[in-house]
Amino acid sequence: MLLLRAELRKVAHPAIAMSLCGLIVIAISLQALVLREEVASAADPVPAPTLLDPLGAAVIACEQVASLLGVGLAAVIAAVGVASEFTSGTIGAVVAVEGRRGRLVAAKAAAAFMVLTVTVVVLAASLALAGVAAKAVLGERIASVEPTALSEALSVFARLPLVLLVLAMLGVLAGLVFRSEVGAATALAGLTALSLPLTNLSPVNALTLPHWVAAWMGFGPPGYPYDFVWSYAPSDVGVATAGAVLALVVCASLAAATLTLRATDLVPTSD
């Protein structure tokens, strides 16, 4: 618990706070575009999910953090929480205190996962507040709002943690491999963004993270591309298969991160 607290203090960084603010602004701006189009077309009702519905706002928040915006935040976490210890030279002291490098990797991943989870909650609340403001401004121009189905929302909520865990582990791995803030952030965010166009290009898509995340989360209409910055879910991949692949990514990333840290010549390790 003390180790986790120490890692949480490291990610309580102004860069992450600024990234969270930027993520909120982008997500609300995207939803404003959706709302503008729906008002212009006199949509009745406004289709779900929408920020005009609190449950819909929560679903949109989950999908945004599970897509490219979440990858961007994970990249910042990797730079601040992991790679910065190499550039500052403090990683040796951290390992000397803890000793067990596998446990240190797990604590860093847990801290990143918690930050991403809090981000979802904050973003959902921000979208819901933006929805209240939009209703007040637009008034009668909004005829009615289609409520988000509870079953759909629960499905999204249940699938999200695995994606957040994937992002957290890949962030830790990127920080340990590249050992610099710029290198870690660029590797995670840049390579993921570059692989997006390959999501539905078989058979190369099987090697890309967006392909499996889209299949697991079931990304698709009606709000695309504003409810998430990603690509459509592939039609030839089942949810169970996608979940198994993402779970394998988590385990492989954990093993690779632990082995990378153990191979780093810092101080003797006890495991």
Tens of pLDDT, residue by residue over 126-172, are 999 999 999 898 887 777 888 999 999 999 999 999 999 999 999 99
Q: Of 99 and 37, which is predicted with more confidence?
A: 37
In this prediction, residue 222 carries a pLDDT of 52
Q: Chain-wide mean pLDDT for the chain?
A: 86
pLDDT at 224: 55
CB atoms near residue 260 (< 10 Å): 17
**84-98 per-position pLDDT tens digit:** 888 888 888 888 777
pLDDT over threshold 60, residue 47: yes
Whole-number Å distance between alpha carbons of 110 and 129:
29
Distance CA 258, CA 271 (A): 11
**What CA–CA distance (Å, rounded) separates 40 from 57?**
21
Contacts 24+ apart (CB under 8 A), 215-220: 215/239, 215/241, 215/242, 216/159, 216/162, 216/163, 216/242, 216/243, 216/246, 217/63, 217/66, 217/156, 217/159, 217/160, 217/163, 218/155, 218/159, 219/63, 219/67
Mean pLDDT of 167-187: 89
Preceding peptide of 45 cis, ω within 30°: yes
Q: Which residues make beta-bridge pairs with 46? A: 145
Q: What is the band of 199 on the pLDDT scale with cuts at 50, 70, 90?
A: low
Confidence (pTM): 0.89
CA distance 45 to 142: 8
